[in-house]
Copies of this chain bind each other. A is one copy, B any other.
């Protein structure tokens, strides 16, 4: 079965790389750079520290990464999760230092591309530039949605929103079927993402389960049983949300 299935576009290594909803395959001039720069990183590896010299972007090919900031007292706020097809540009306004940390949440494969190279790739391929714009727009939308809940939402609404957001994002990647998906996250991660204590994340999730909104297995496999009820708690409309936070095909 392994041998007989013809593999059209991925002979050995990854012959194509996803940026947002678009695949960049063998024909693209961009591909060469992707290929040479692809590298594996183990879970929990920190790729970049807030304040480091940066000057590069990171394209996720596989696995989960997260961007974060932490306070002097060591508390962490996850800013965003990066899934395959996402592009992280940690550069702050000075054009040099990183404005956030980037770490691998799971084992992952990424391309690290120096900013100048990235710019010429964007200039060379309008397709790529367009895809990148969609990815950026999706990230902006997610950040605003999350800021709204962070500033104004209850714990329930924050967590409900987080579950829905992740479900919606995983769907186009083929990692969420029927609102069931795997979250490679501890409750601490979810707490750092939603601005809550791990303890309170636990309580709130249990309540969701008790009320039949979601089901959990293995502490990490989630199934949203009652999407509309959960969306009500989150104060979100899943259809609209999907369009806004998920990179469009073109």
**In chain B, what residue has the closest Cβ to A75?**
B152
Q: A71 within 8 Å of B by Cβ?
A: yes
Give Cα A75 to B72, complex, Å: 30
Residues of chain B within 8 A (CB-CB) of A138 are 92-93
Q: A211 within 8 Å of B by Cβ?
A: no
CB distance from A67 to the nearest CB of B (A): 8
Q: A33 within 8 Å of B by Cβ?
A: no
Chain A positions 53-86 with a Cβ under 8 Å from a chain B Cβ: 67, 69-73, 75-77, 79
Pick from B71, B152, B243: contact of A92, CB below 8 A: B243
**A77 touching B140 by the CB < 8 A rule?**
no
**In chain B, what residue has the closest Cβ to A247?**
B93
**A143 touching B137 by the CB < 8 A rule?**
no
Give Cα A240 to B144, complex, Å: 24
**A91 touching B147 by the CB < 8 A rule?**
no
A24-32, A94-102, A217-225 - interface stretch: A94-102
Q: Give the oligomeric copy count.
A: 2
Residues of chain B within 8 A (CB-CB) of A93 are 134-135, 137-138, 141, 243-248
**In chain B, what residue has the closest Cβ to A236?**
B72
Please, what's the 1-or-0 string for A87-117, where 1 marks a CB less than 8 Å from any CB in chain B? 0010111110101100000000000000000
Pick from B92, B151, B247: contact of A195, CB below 8 A: B151
**A140 touching B195 by the CB < 8 A rule?**
no
Q: A148 within 8 Å of B by Cβ?
A: yes
Give Cα A143 to B91, complex, Å: 13
Q: Which of A99, A195, A243, A247 has the most CB of B within 10 A?
A: A99
Give Cα A67 to B147, complex, Å: 12
Please, what's the 1-or-0 string for A143-183, where 1 marks a CB less than 8 Å from any CB in chain B? 11111101111000000000000000000000000000000
Pick from B71, B72, B79, B95: contact of A144, CB below 8 A: B79
**A144 touching B244 by the CB < 8 A rule?**
no
Q: A51 within 8 Å of B by Cβ?
A: yes
